[in-house]
Chain A
Amino acid sequence: MSGSGSFEQALNLIFSFDPALMEIIALSLRVSLTAVVIAAVLALPVGAAIALFRFPGRGALVTVLNALMGLPPVVAGLMVYLLLSRAGPLGSLGLLFTPTAMVVAQTLLVFPIVAALSRQVVEDLWEEYREQLQSLGCNRLRAIPTLLWDARFSLITGVLAGFGRASAEVGAVLIVGGNIDGVTRMMTTAIALETSKGNLPLALGLGMVLLLLVAIINAAAYQMGESAKRRLG
C-alpha cells in the first residue's frame, strides 16, 4: 500500500460519509461533550465557591486542584476501571466497556481544569467588585451566580480547555472503553489502532478530521461569545 493511497483513503472515508467513521465521530462528540457539560456544571460553582470563601486547608485545596489539571489520563482511566470492574465497588452496574464509563473517566479529567481555571477567574473578578457587591448587601454565597454570569466569556475559555483535554486524550477511554468496534471506538482510539497496524497515513488523516472537529466547535463557541458581546454593546 503506498503512503499517498492511504491518505487518499482517509479523505475518501470523510467525504463519502463512511457510516463507520460517522459513528466513531458521533460517539467521540457525544462522549466528550457530555463529559464537558457534566464537569462544567459541577466545577463552575465549586471553583467559584473556593474563590470566595476562606476556610482551613483552602491553600492546599487550590494546590491539589491545580495539580490535578495534570492528572495523567491513563491514571484517571485506571481509577475508573478499578471502580467499575466487576471486582470493584460499582461492578454490579456492569458499566465497564460502555460509553458511560468513558464519560465518567473524561469527566474526572475535565473537572479539575474547569474548577481550577474558574477559581482563578472568579477570584480576580471578586477582588474587583468586592466593595461594590458588599455595599449592595450581597453576601459571598449570593455573589457566586452574579460573578459566574459576569465572567462567562472568560469561563468559556476554561470550558474549551476542558473540551480540548477530553477530545484529545486516548489513555483513559482506551482502558475503560476497551476500543470495541462499533461500541466504544472513538476518534483517538481509532487513530491509535491504525498506528498499531502501521497505517500511518490513514491514522494521520483521522487525526486531521479530529482537529477539524475541535476547531469547528471552538469557532462556534467563539462566534457565540462575540455575538453575545455585541448584543450587550
Chain B
Amino acid sequence: MITRCFAMALTVLALALPVQAQEQFITLASTTSTEQSGLFGHIIPKFRDATGIDVRVVAVGTGQAFAIARAGDADILMVHDTVGEKKFVSEGYGSERRDVMYNDFVIIGPSDDPAGIAEAESAAEAMTLIADAEAAFTSRGDDSGTHRAELRLWEGAGVSTEGSWYRELGSGMGPTLNTAAGMNAYVVSDRATWLNFSNRQDLKILFQGDDVLFNQYGSVLINPERHPELKHDLAEQWHEWLLSDEGQSAISEHTIDGQQLFFPNAN
C-alpha cells in the first residue's frame, strides 16, 4: 500500500517534471574513457541525424557498467574488458558481443623517470622496474576495464605490489591522473583520457607500444529474454550503426590535436 502510494506520488512528480526531449532514445552504459575523450559527443549526433534516435550515455567504470546492465537499467553496453564481456554473454545477460574499436594503454610517470622505464624492452620489464625501485604508483583500484588491465600487467610481470609505494585510489581515470600529477607518481592510463587531460604538471608518457597494452572496446546487446522491457530494437540499430562503414568512419574521424583516439576494427 505504501509502495503504491509512493509510486503514484512519483508518477505525479514525473508528469510535473517532463523531460525536455520527447524523442526516441536509448540509455547506453559505457566507460568514463569513451565519454571523457569526447568520442560520444562526436559520433552520437551523426547517429541521431541518421536514425532520429538519441543516445543517453551513463559513463561509469566497466565493473559498474556491467552491474547497471545486469539490473536492466541500460539498453546496451559499450565497455573495454573483452574477458568480462564474453562472460556477460555466456552467463545469459548479453545476447551478442562485437569488437568495435581499439586504442592502447600507456604507462605515464614523472618526466625524470626515477625507475628508468623509458628504456624498458617490454611492458612487463617496465612494471618490474617500477616495483623494484618502489617508485610511487597510483592504481585506479575501482574494478574498471583499465584497472583490470593494470592488474594483468602486474601479473604478467610476476611482481608483487605490496608496499606503501603502491596506492590504490578507487577513483575514475581523471581523478587518478590528478592524484598521480599531485604525487608525481607512475600510472597506467588509456591513451584517450590522457590526451584529453589538462592537469598534467610534470607527467608524460614514458612507455608505450607493447602488444599487451592493446585496449579493445566492444558493444554488447542485452539479452531480450532476461529484460524484455528494454528498447532492444533501438539498441540494435545503434549496435549495427557502430559496426557499419558509417559508424566506423565516424569513430576514426574523432581526433584531439590532430591525433586519432580510437581505431575502428569491427570485422
Residue among B19, B178, B181 making CB contact with A99, cutoff 8 Å:
B19
Q: How many residues of A contact B (CB 8 A)?
A: 35
Residues in A with CB closer than 8 Å to B91 are: none
Chain A, 30-50, CB within 8 A of any chain B CB: 30, 34, 38
CB within 8 Å for A181 and B57 given contacts A93-B14, A100-B17: yes
B163-180 toward A: CB 8 Å interface, digit per residue (1/0)? 000000000111101100
CB within 8 Å for A98 and B14 given contacts A90-B7, A178-B58, A197-B197: yes
Q: Are B56 and A86 within 8 A (Cβ)? A: no
Q: Are B199 and A89 within 8 A (Cβ)? A: no
Say yes or no for A85: interface residue by CB 8 A criterion. yes
Q: Are B3 and A90 within 8 A (Cβ)? A: yes
Residues in A with CB closer than 8 Å to B13 are: 38, 100, 103-104
Chain A, 186-217, CB within 8 A of any chain B CB: 193, 195-200
Q: Are A96 and B73 within 8 A (Cβ)? A: yes
Residue among B173, B198, B227 making CB contact with A1, cutoff 8 Å:
B198
Residues in A with CB closer than 8 Å to B60 are: 178
Say yes or no for B161: interface residue by CB 8 A criterion. no
Q: Are A197 and B174 within 8 A (Cβ)? A: yes
Q: Are B174 and A196 within 8 A (Cβ)? A: yes
Residue among A85, A89, A93, A100 making CB contact with B71, cutoff 8 Å:
A85
Q: Are B17 and A179 within 8 A (Cβ)? A: no
CA distance A88 to B72 in the complex (A): 10
Say yes or no for B103: interface residue by CB 8 A criterion. no
Please give the distance in Å from A99's CB to the nearest CB on chain B.
5
Residue among A93, A97, A178, A193 making CB contact with B10, cutoff 8 Å:
A93
CA distance A199 to B178 in the complex (A): 10
Residue among B3, B7, B56 making CB contact with A180, cutoff 8 Å:
B56
Residue among B3, B14, B178 making CB contact with A198, cutoff 8 Å:
B178
Additional A-B contact list (12), CB under 8 Å, known A88-B71, A98-B17, A196-B174: A86-B73, A99-B17, A180-B58, A181-B40, A181-B41, A183-B21, A193-B36, A195-B175, A196-B173, A196-B175, A197-B197, A197-B198
- Report 26 cross-chain contacts, Cβ distance below 8 Å, ordered by A residue: A34-B16, A85-B71, A85-B72, A85-B73, A87-B70, A89-B3, A90-B3, A90-B6, A90-B7, A93-B10, A95-B10, A97-B56, A97-B58, A99-B17, A103-B13, A104-B10, A178-B56, A180-B57, A183-B56, A196-B174, A197-B174, A197-B196, A197-B198, A198-B178, A198-B200, A199-B199
